[in-house]
């Protein structure tokens, strides 16, 4: 409730005549998809959302969890750095994660993050253990910390959940390095998160997509660093798996980029 009130106040302050004409829902309608985008302007300390209720509704984080998962893996010394090799266990069961034959081989942590190789992070999770996860997730105020599912891949299956607003709070903790992790861990993570780098801005981000409980949940979260400001964003798309939308994957980024451009952030 507190987050809802804060966002309501912030949106009222943020929407000025110059931005009032922007229809934040239209990009979602153009993609024929339900969802929301949540943005936080660090300099102005202001929030904006296309759907306030959705911004505060928690769901599985899917592969966006790799952001804090990377920090936890480094902090617990399960991996020593981004170039450490994670051994492919050799399982032929690729159905659970989707059939992507290009990712099923030994790879570095950097490649696992960039390629969003779920199996690699599951292998690390087996070593980290849920007790350690609970410790760091509680200390970081990440999601509902419900790790009760009998699966090491609890970020893709089960009742673990985080809202778009909470995603941005975590991203801000990454940017400001206020989460309970070492400086070198932040350095490694931030480098791996870079998706776009221009003279005007840098985008550090991570996608996510899970297909649990008959639903597709797709994310793109991150932040835009400019010389004068930082803007955090969390876009989430939701649909029933029975509803066919072949653009679901690319719409995560297309919607986000379109709105960020309309707001003159990009």
The pLDDT tens digits for 116-135 are 999 999 999 999 999 999 99
CB 120 within 8 A of CB 107: yes
Which CA distances in Å does 233 have to 40, 86, 92, 148, 259? 7, 30, 36, 29, 10
In degrees rounded to 5, what are phi and psi of residue 162? -145, 145
**Looking at residue 14, what is its pLDDT?**
43
How do residues 44-55 score in pLDDT, each as one tens digit?
999 999 999 999
* 168 pLDDT above the threshold of 80: yes
pLDDT digits 0-9 by tens, 236-260: 999 999 999 999 999 999 999 999 9
60, 212 contact by CB (below 8 A): yes
pLDDT at 32: 95
63 in catalytic set: yes
What is the average pLDDT across 36-59? Answer: 97
Residues 160, 146 contacting (CB under 8 angstroms)? yes
- Contacts (Cβ under 8 Å, ≥6 apart) of 96: 153
Whole-structure pTM value: 0.91
Q: Write the CATH number of the domain with boundaries 59-196.
A: 3.40.710.10
Q: Nearest Cα to 185, choosing from 69, 62, 64?
A: 69
Given pLDDT bands bounded at 50, 70 and 90, which one contains residue 93? low
Share the mean pLDDT of the chain. Answer: 91
**What are the domain boundaries of the chain?**
1-13+32-57, 59-196
Q: Which of 36, 50, 55, 63 is catalytic?
A: 63
pLDDT tens-digit series, residues 1-26: 455 444 444 443 344 334 456 899 99
Across 99-113, 159-173, 228-242, 250-264, least confident range: 99-113
Residues 185-208 have pLDDT tens digits of 999 999 999 999 999 999 999 999
Question: How far is the C-alpha of 167 from the C-alpha of 233, rounded, in Å?
Answer: 9
Q: How many CB atoms lie within 10 A of CB 173?
A: 19
Distance CA 234, CA 221 (A): 4
Q: How far apart are CA 28 and CA 248, in angstroms?
A: 10
Rounded CA-CA distance 129/127 in Å is: 6
Given the DSSP bridges, would you call strands 215-226 and 230-240 parallel, antiparallel or unpaired? Answer: antiparallel
At 74 the pLDDT is 98
């Amino acid at each position: 409730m507190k987050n809802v009130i804060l966002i309501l106040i912030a949106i009222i302050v943020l929407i000025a005549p110059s931005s009032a004409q922007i229809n934040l829902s239209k990009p979602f309608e153009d993609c024929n998809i339900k969802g929301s985008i949540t943005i936080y302007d660090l300099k102005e300390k202001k929030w904006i959302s296309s759907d306030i209720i959705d911004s505060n509704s928690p769901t599985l984080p899917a592969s966006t969890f790799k952001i804090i998962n990377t920090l936890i893996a480094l902090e617990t010394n399960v991996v020593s750095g981004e170039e450490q090799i994670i051994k492919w266990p050799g399982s032929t069961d690729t159905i659970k994660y989707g059939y992507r034959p290009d990712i099923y081989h030994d790879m570095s942590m950097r490649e696992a993050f960039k390629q969003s190789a779920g199996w690699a992070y599951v292998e690390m999770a087996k070593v980290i253990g849920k007790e350690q996860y609970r410790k760091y997730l509680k200390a970081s105020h990440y999601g509902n910390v419900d790790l009760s599912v009998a699966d090491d891949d609890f970020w893709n299956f089960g009742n673990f959940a985080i809202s778009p607003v909470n995603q941005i709070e975590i991203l801000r903790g990454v940017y400001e390095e206020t989460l309970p992790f070492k400086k070198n861990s932040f350095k490694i993570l931030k480098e791996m998160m870079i998706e776009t780098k221009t003279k005007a801005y840098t985008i550090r981000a991570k996608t996510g997509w899970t297909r649990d409980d008959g639903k597709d949940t797709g994310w793109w979260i991150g932040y835009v660093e400019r010389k004068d400001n930082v803007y955090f964003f969390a876009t989430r798309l939701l649909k029933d798996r029975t509803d066919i939308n072949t653009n679901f994957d690319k719409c995560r980024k297309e919607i986000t980029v379109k709105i960020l451009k309309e707001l003159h952030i990009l």
